Structure formats: C-alpha cells, structure tokens
Amino acid sequence: MIFEPTREAGLRHLADFTSGSLRDYTLQRNFDFGPTRRGNVSQLSPYIRHRLVPEWEVVDAALGRYAVSTVEKFVQEVCWRTYFKGWLEQRPAIWQRYLDELHGLRMSSRPDGALGAALERATAGRTGIDCFDFWAQELVTTGYLHNHARMWFASIWTYTLGLPWQLGADFFMKHLLDGDAASNTLSWRWVCGLHTVGKTYLARRDNIVRYTQGRFDPGATLSAHAPAMRAESLPPPAGLRALRSIPASGSLAVLLSEEDLAPETLTIPVERVTCVIAIDTTDAYPGLSELVKQFKRTALRDALARARQHFGAADGFDDLVAPSELPAILAAAGDTATVVSEMPTGPARSQILDALAARGSEVAPPVEVRRAWDAAFWPHATGDFHKLEARIPVILRALSLASLHKGSMSRSGDQQTTVGPGSLSLAGSWQRGAH
C-alpha cells in the first residue's frame, strides 16, 4: 500500500511536504507528472479525509513555516472540502438523491447491454483514450489520482463517453482512499454544471498535453462541448443539526468512526472514559475495493490503539466492532453515555445510526461533538464557494490556531464543540486541485 494508514505516517508525510514542496505548490499543483513524481502535491488527502491528520494540524504546519501569501492558495484549496462538507450537511437530501439515482442506474444497466458494456470498458481502462485508460487503471491500482486528472477523467467520462455522472462518482467512491460523500458527489456535480448551476468543466487536449508535460495526447478524441445538465431544484440550506451536550457526570464510552480518527485531539474528560469502541463501516457503501477497506480498517485499528492509550481505557474491545453488534454493546453498558466526533452525512453515519435505531428507544444515539473548525466554517457554506472563501481569513483569525491546539471547550446553545479543528482537507475538493 502506497499510503501507510497511520497517524504517525501522516504526520511524517505532512512534515516532509511542508519542509519541501509546499513553497512551490501554487505554481506546480496543476501538473500531473505521473504516479512516481507526486512531490508537487501534498498527497495528504487519505489522511485528512479520515482525520488521521486533522485539518488544523495541516494548516498550522503550513502557516507556521511560510508567510500567508506563500500558502494562501494551498489553504483556499484545502477549504473546498470544508465547504463541500458544510454544503452537504445543510442539504443531505442531495446525497440521498445521488443514492436513489445510482440505484436506478444499476437496476437498468444490464452487463450485456450497451450501458453495461460501456461502463465495463471505462472502469477497466479499455476505451482507447490513452490518458483516461491510464487514470482508470492507476485509480484501481493505487487508490489515488492527481486532482487535475480527476477533473479531466470526470469530464471525459461525462461528455466524451456519455456515461451517467452518478456511475462515475460511484467508481471513484469505490476506489479512492480519500473518497467521501460530500467532496466526491459534489465535485462530480460541479463538473456537470449541477453544483454551480450552468458552469461545467471541459477536458481539453491542449490542457492535458501541457499539464502532463506531453505524457498524454488525446488528439481529437475528446468532446468539444460540455453542456450543463438540466438543473434540478435544490433544497434550501436547512442549517446544521443541533447537538446534545456531553452529560455532566457519569462514565463515557468513546465511539470511533472512520470519519474522525484523531480521538486524542477531542476535548472529552479523560478520567470519565471507561471504554473505546471502533466501528467497522467498510460495507456501508457497497462495493468498496479491498484496497480502500484495508486502509480504513488499519486506520481504525491505529486510532483504537491510540485512543485506549490516551484515555487510559482498560475496558473496551481489542479489535473492530461491526455496526450490528453496537446496540447490544451499548445496551449492556447501562448508564454509560456514548460520545463520538460528529459524523457527517454519508454511509458511515447512516449505517451506525440505523443499527442503533433498530433497537428503538432501548439504546440512546451517541452524543456527537462538533469540531470548532466545522462549527466556524459550515454555516457559511450555503451558496457559492466564493462567499465562504472571502471569510477564510476572518474565520482563521477567530479560531486562532494556538487555541485550537489547547483543545479548550466552547459552547453555543446546546451544541458542544472542541476548539481544535475543522475541515481543511487537501484532497477533497478535487476539482480545485488541493491534494
């Protein structure tokens, strides 16, 4: 595996990038030099997506080494993932719409039919378009694609090959180590003119030749047009869900999900934690590659070991627990309250909450803790990204990276947040290039 799924490896990777290529990131980030020459981008996305390396640590490392003017673009690109997550949190129906449309396409595309055959050629890298075929095979083999290649790939998939974007998003979700519901779904929608309505992305021959330094030349095979798809009505932003506060007394069980694997940075009363439980949700999204499953499970085990050490929790489980086992475990725990870092809209959240709901009122849902970064950024993700972009300096000053590392607690109404991070994810908003 190219990416070692541990926090230690992620921090080492962060240190290497910030001490080297970050200085030239703005000028070099759009070049795809090939799988063996990725020094121009961070490749931190698998770590940030799972919060093995939390976003605030990435930003702190960048701003701590260089002037704001040097890393401004890097920080902006990072905030695209923050924006996408906040946007989807306020419109979770868009995720369900994608799942419903994907289910319909799966039901209607027989393997021996025209769509099924075209889909098989595309995902196997046998279309005859050299760059596209290479990227399809690279994705399956490594679990990673350069940001610019993701944009080209999605555009070719949609406008040259004429395949439904939902099937392309599904292909990415199954194979990307950094794939998540918000960034992946909304990035594909962005390419198709559904996110920023009417604005599409067209893969052009000259652009591919230039930014791959001649490694690929698709010739005249690419579509010359990228018409926006018919825009559906978007639900208005509903605001963020209200969260319950951690009980003032009593024992606590810390629940780990794949969405946030930096439990030692959560502000939870250490002395009250008696149990740590890591939930394996690798079957929550059907068809994940074995590479992706292995990454998630190893990352979960790494977080479990760190959490048990940090909280000094002698009780708990030595290995991962299936969601179906969770209700019985929590029911047996009696009055112990369960605490988890907020789980954003997506497969893991749905599977865990559905498993608990199956036991009805017998098992209380976990208390979710919202990261201060998310609490600061997400409310501004109501429209176009540039509305949030203009507020990035103000939000960063308000958060204050020094206070983030102290992990002090802040409260707003009945919501409990940790002053410590948010969502600066370098690889998520792939249509903008932050990897």
Query: Which sign does the torsion angle of CA 102, 105, 111, 114 carry?
Result: negative
Structural tokens at position 71: 């890393």
pTM of the model: 0.92
Task: Tell me the Ramachandran region of residue 330: left when phi exceeds 0, alpha when psi lies from -120 to 50, beta otherwise.
Answer: alpha
What pLDDT score was predicted for residue 422? 32
CATH class of 96-211: mainly alpha
Q: Are 310 and 263 in contact (CB under 8 A)?
A: yes
What pLDDT score was predicted for residue 230? 85
> What is d(CA 412, CA 71) in angstroms, rounded to the nearest whole number?
31
Q: DSSP class of residue 380?
A: G
Order of strands across the sheet that contains 409-412? 315-316, 273-278, 252-256, 337-341, 367-371, 415-418, 409-412
Per-residue confidence in pLDDT tens, the chain, 435 aa: 689 999 999 999 999 999 999 999 999 999 999 999 999 999 999 999 999 998 888 888 898 899 989 999 998 888 888 899 999 999 999 999 999 999 999 888 777 789 999 999 999 999 999 999 999 999 999 999 999 999 999 999 999 999 999 999 999 999 999 999 999 999 999 999 999 988 999 999 999 999 999 999 999 999 999 999 987 888 899 999 999 999 999 999 999 999 999 999 998 999 999 999 999 999 999 999 999 999 999 999 999 999 999 998 766 678 999 999 999 998 888 889 999 999 999 999 999 999 999 877 678 899 999 999 999 999 999 999 999 999 998 898 888 764 444 333 232 333 333 333 333 333 333 444 345
> What is d(CA 237, CA 68) in angstroms, rounded to the nearest whole number?
31
Q: How is 394-431 classified by DSSP, letter by letter? A: HHHHHH-HHHHHHT-EEEETTEEEESS-----TTT-TT
